[in-house]
């Protein structure tokens, strides 16, 4: 994969191409020490004539909502469209037979000058769909449940927790992933302190119960996923009803199928939770993956 990096100046609405391997971000940038910024990771699927930027608008709307939650300037859609198009052009020029890859785009608050003012910085670069992702799409995953440390639905009372925003502060999510790995599981499943299932560290959970698809309510304290919403928008054609619900761990363990869904993973079957086997619905896994690739 090409090592293109695009540096974006959101204030001037300009960008320049450079290389990922070159040092680019001053250590004084507030994203480096405070995680003070926002990002998106979007899947680009190249199975038709034109590249499909999966859930492009859902991602950009969430990017804008995250900017608003952090009091960052509103991202300029035309600028970021051009940036994404430039990444796609670089990747496909370097590898015309590539079938899918991700693009990570971000905006940080920038560095503070002597007067305490900041000027945002943006960047975007391609990320490969790696071997691990390809493996779990077919073999599925196991998870352990972990207490997220707050009660469900706390976000409206505590907006500073930024629960629905996709910020660059992922140290807790990374730690949860390592904890799961150390306990022989592929993934963590966050549960609110009062026992409501929330999400994985970088994915949403969907379960099937009969003819219903169920997923935790984003207001419970999780990121509203673009992949989850894409699947829910296609529920009708799958002959299923889609609903938000408060789920317990027992609901997940006794489901007729359960999936971790996110942009790069697409949909992977959750086969086991806390050592309990969960029913695997291979047909629906395949259909979810096809719907996601079509964008």
**Token duo for residue 182:** 């150390």
What are the CA-CA distances from residue 169 to residues 10, 25, 41, 77 (Å)?
20, 16, 15, 24
Tell me the DSSP string of 166-214. -BS--HHHHHHHHHHHHTT-SEEEEE-TTS-B--BTTBEEEEEETTEEE
Distance of CA 233 to the CA centre of its chain: 18
* Binders in 27-66 for ligand PLP, by CB under 6 A: 41
- Residue closer to ligand PLP by CB (options 223, 278) is 223
Q: Is 263 in the site for ligand PLP (CB under 6 A)?
A: yes
**CB 78 → ligand PLP: shortest distance, Å?**
22
- Residue closer to ligand PLP by CB (options 142, 224) is 224
- Residue closer to ligand PLP by CB (options 172, 277) is 172
Q: Which part of the chain contacts ligand PLP (CB under 6 A), choosing from 109-117, 125-133, 219-227, 247-255?
A: 219-227
**CB 230 → ligand PLP: shortest distance, Å?**
8
The interface mask with ligand PLP, positions 184-213, x = CB under 6 A, is ---------------x--xxx---------
The single residue among 145, 167, 262, 289 that binds ligand PLP, judged by CB under 6 A, is 262
Angle between helix 226-233 and 282-294 (nearest 10): 100
What are the CA-CA distances from residue 182 to residues 133, 174, 260, 276 (Å)?
19, 12, 20, 18
The interface mask with ligand PLP, positions 220-259, x = CB under 6 A, is ---x-xxx--------------------------------
**CB 62 → ligand PLP: shortest distance, Å?**
7
How far is Cα 187 from Cα 78, in angstroms, rounded to an integer? 36
**CB 16 → ligand PLP: shortest distance, Å?**
27
How far is Cα 123 from Cα 86, in angstroms, rounded to an integer? 12
**CB 270 → ligand PLP: shortest distance, Å?**
14
**Token duo for residue 92:** 């496909």
**CB 124 → ligand PLP: shortest distance, Å?**
16
CB 175 within 8 A of CB 149: no
- Residue closer to ligand PLP by CB (options 15, 259) is 259
Residue with tokens 């629906």: 284
Residue ranges binding ligand PLP (CB under 6 A)? 41, 199, 202-204, 223, 225-227, 261-263
């Amino acid at each position: 994969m090409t090592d293109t990096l695009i540096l974006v100046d959101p204030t001037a609405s300009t960008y320049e191409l450079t290389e990922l391997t070159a040092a680019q971000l001053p250590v004084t940038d507030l994203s480096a020490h405070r995680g003070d910024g926002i990002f998106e990771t979007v899947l680009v699927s190249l199975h038709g004539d034109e590249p499909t930027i999966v859930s492009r608008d859902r991602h950009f709307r969430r990017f804008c909502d995250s900017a608003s939650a952090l009091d960052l300037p509103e991202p300029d859609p035309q600028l970021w469209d051009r940036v994404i198009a430039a990444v796609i052009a670089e990747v496909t020029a370097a590898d015309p037979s590539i079938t899918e890859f991700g693009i990570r785009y971000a905006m940080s608050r920038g560095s503070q000058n002597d007067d305490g003012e900041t000027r945002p910085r943006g960047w975007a670069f391609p990320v490969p769909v790696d071997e691990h992702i390809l493996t779990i799409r077919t073999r599925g995953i196991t998870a352990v449940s972990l207490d997220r440390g707050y009660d469900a639905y706390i976000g409206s009372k505590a907006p500073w927790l930024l629960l629905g925003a996709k910020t660059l502060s992922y140290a807790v999510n990374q730690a949860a992933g390592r904890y799961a790995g150390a306990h022989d599981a592929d993934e963590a499943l966050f549960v609110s302190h009062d026992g409501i299932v929330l999400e994985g560290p970088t994915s949403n959970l969907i379960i099937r119960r009969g003819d219903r698809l169920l997923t935790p309510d984003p207001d419970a304290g999780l990121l509203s996923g673009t992949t989850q919403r894409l699947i829910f928008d296609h529920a009708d054609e799958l002959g299923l009803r889609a609903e938000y619900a408060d789920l317990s761990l027992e609901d997940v363990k006794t489901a007729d199928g359960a999936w971790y869904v996110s942009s790069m993973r697409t949909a992977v079957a959750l086969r086991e939770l806390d050592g309990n086997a969960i029913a695997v619905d291979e047909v629906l896994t395949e259909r979810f993956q096809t719907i996601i690739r079509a964008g």
